[in-house]
A and B are shown apart, each in its own frame.
Chain A
Amino acid sequence: MKCPRCVQRVHRMARQCPHCGFGIGDVDKVFGEQDVRVGSLTDAAGVLRKSERAAVRRMLRRFQVRFPRLFFAIYFGTFKELPGPRQFGFWLLNRGAFDDVDVSRPNEGGVILCVDVGGKSAGITYGYALQPFLDEESTFRALSAAHPYLLQGQWPKASEVVVGKISRTLMKQSRRARRNPAKFDLRESEPEGANDVLERIRARHRDSQSSTQI
């Protein structure tokens, strides 16, 4: 695992990055520490047409059908002087309450593609539940496949390619995990209290009325 700011390797249980001292509090200071209500597709940069938005949403729903515990979210924005897609994706997956994602899919099972339209960069972030199944290489392959479309500004096609590539990787990993579960059994003790987990799972997606819309 790597630090979203300095891209150095971080130990699994580290509270802060040992290299640069990064923690979620740092991005909270920039983007806000309250949960935010977002959709699985957020076009803050305004680069998608209505029909394209509908098509991308359908594609994201298909992803959810295929993976009953996971969801895929896409964010198009312009970060300007703010930290780039790596830190923003990290923050959004931790602070986002996704309106159109069912409660049975916690953020731990989320994958986010963040595209900085102005800064011309894109990044992928994923939750704890996918930690053993995705890595930097597989996400890089997905982004590489979409690179030509990103260069041309074909955002829906680029999204489709990334989602398709990530889906295929996950399907393969799922089959491997079924054949050889011990290889992926990375259970660790959970420092977070079980009460907190219960409360989060049940309340997070329901009681988000006070959250802000971005």
Chain B
Amino acid sequence: MRGGLLLLIASVALLPTGARAQAIPASGPVQPALPGERNVETQGGPRETEGAPGDSSSTAEKPAGPQLPDLPVWSPSDFEKIRKGELVAGQDFFAPTPVDPNAKIEPLPLPKIPEPPVVVPVPEVDETVIPTEYLTEYFREVEQTPEGAPIFLNDPQELLSQQEFRDRESFLRYHSSDSDINMFVYLFDERQELPGGTNVATVYRDLFSQRGSAAVVFYYLGAPERSQVHLSSDIQAVISQDEQNRALRAAIQEGFEKSDAAYQLDNFLVEFSIRLYWIERELKTAAASTIAGLAQEDASRGAVEVTVSAPDGAPWRIGPILQLTLLVVLFGGSTLLGWLLLERRRYRFPEVECGPLLGAPHAAGVGAVISFSDSNLPPSRQRDQAPDYLQRM
């Protein structure tokens, strides 16, 4: 019993001063009487240890710190109540804090709202106009690398990122190293328009006419269908306009295979490079045939000179036999010429782009198979239509 009481006292003593004031119920916690102390039993409120009236010494001994209420003291009756269960020690400990009805809540000062930034009206940019500062960069002489090689991709507006620019430039350099027809590409934005009087032909004439075989390409990033191409005059002399248009159309079509503008340019350039490759082949073939034609012309000129000198010694009066012979020779000659022309005729086919079938990269055209094991059966009876796995393997 005494141990429990001591524990209770110790727990109260360990509480902060303010808490202790509240922890002690108003009805009277028990404070055991200590030697030399006077116990005062109070009812209905916290007990206060009071000195005797007029005892000035007790007042003088009080500390000068903040005035705190005195601790309540236990009385024997409180102790009895606790023991009987009528009083629970600390029952008011968690009682709600009394609210002062007269207290006033001071309104918090309002935070200062910063002044809204002044919006400066941005002038509208016309997307179709190429800024003037870039025009000079576009249409000046072709830039060169420190090694002296021309830069094939012209993008002063930096429409491509550095990496993208490097990739495309590298491809154009590769193309240039592999082909006799260099490809110079000018990049513009999707909706940009060239200033009046400037077009791909004038740019070619001003800057590339002395550069040998070249293809100048105006490419609008994000709008491959607006691309323009101008091929040098030596190419135009051999390659028909139709074929040039076909090459451009194929490149545009290839560009549209991608959705990203940079990749569209990639596809466009690769396809156009392929087309230039074929054009280059045709140029070489045409050059070879021109040389052969010139040689033939020289030979025939010599023959004409001989025939012109012939009439001096052979008058036309010889008669109809000679005329008939001449007619026969002419007829035979023209027939021979026709046959030669037919023999020399070249047959080309429109391009057909069939997808890979059965995983085959080049061919999947399986024609007929015929057996020739039996000389008594006609070919139609020896046509092999049976699956291979029924015969072999």
Contact = CB atoms under 8 A, between A and B. Distances in A.
A123 B393 CA distance: 18
A194 B32 CA distance: 102
B346 interface: yes
A131 B346 CA distance: 19
B386 A147 contact: no
Nearest to B273: A198
A133 B349 contact: yes
A45 interface: no
Interface string B361-378: 111111111111101000
Interface string B347-390: 11111111111111111111111111101000110111111110
- Most interface-central of A70, A79, A202 (chain B CB within 10 A): A202
B366 A4 contact: yes
B349 A177 contact: yes
A135 to B, nearest CB: 8
Given A120-B371, A147-B370, A17 B254 contact: no
> Which of B257, B281, B353 has most A Cβ within 10 Å?
B353
Given A68-B285, A144-B379, A201-B274, A129 B352 contact: yes
Contact of A86 (B267, B366, B373, B382): B366
A90 B366 contact: yes
A177 B348 CA distance: 9
Contact of B365 (A25, A126, A170): A126
A136 B370 CA distance: 11
A140 B362 CA distance: 22
Given A14-B357, A144-B380, A174 B349 contact: yes
A6 B365 contact: no
Contacts of A198: 270, 273-274, 277
A68 B346 contact: yes
A1 B393 contact: no
B320 to A, nearest CB: 41
Given A147-B379, A181-B350, A191-B356, A123 B363 contact: no
Contact of A120 (B346, B359, B372): B372
A78 interface: no
A139 B367 contact: yes
Nearest to B393: A83
Given A122-B370, A123-B367, A127-B363, A23 B358 contact: yes
Interface in A1-47: 1-8, 10, 12-17, 20, 22-25
Given A68-B348, A69-B348, A202-B277, A23 B369 contact: no
Contacts, number: 230
A22 B365 CA distance: 14
Given A81-B392, A120-B372, A188 B347 contact: no
B78 interface: no
Interface residues of B, number: 55
B375 A151 contact: yes
B393 A126 contact: no
B255 to A, nearest CB: 10
B363 A124 contact: no
Given A123-B368, A124-B368, A12 B357 contact: yes
B278 interface: yes
A191 B391 CA distance: 34
A194 B274 contact: yes
Q: Closest 8 interchain pairs by CB?
A: A139-B367, A140-B368, A124-B367, A107-B362, A123-B369, A126-B365, A93-B363, A174-B347
21 contacts: A2-B366, A65-B346, A86-B388, A106-B362, A108-B362, A110-B363, A120-B373, A121-B369, A121-B384, A124-B367, A127-B362, A127-B363, A128-B365, A129-B349, A129-B351, A131-B354, A134-B367, A147-B370, A151-B372, A185-B352, A190-B355
Interface of B: 178, 254, 257, 267, 270-271, 273-274, 277-278, 281, 285, 345-373, 375, 379-380, 382-389, 391-393
Given A4-B388, A188-B355, 6 more contacts: A5-B389, A107-B362, A138-B367, A143-B368, A147-B372, A198-B273
Interface of A: 1-8, 10, 12-17, 20, 22-25, 65-70, 79, 81-87, 89-90, 93-94, 104, 106-108, 110, 120-140, 143-144, 147, 150-151, 170-171, 173-175, 177, 181, 184-192, 194-195, 197-198, 200-202
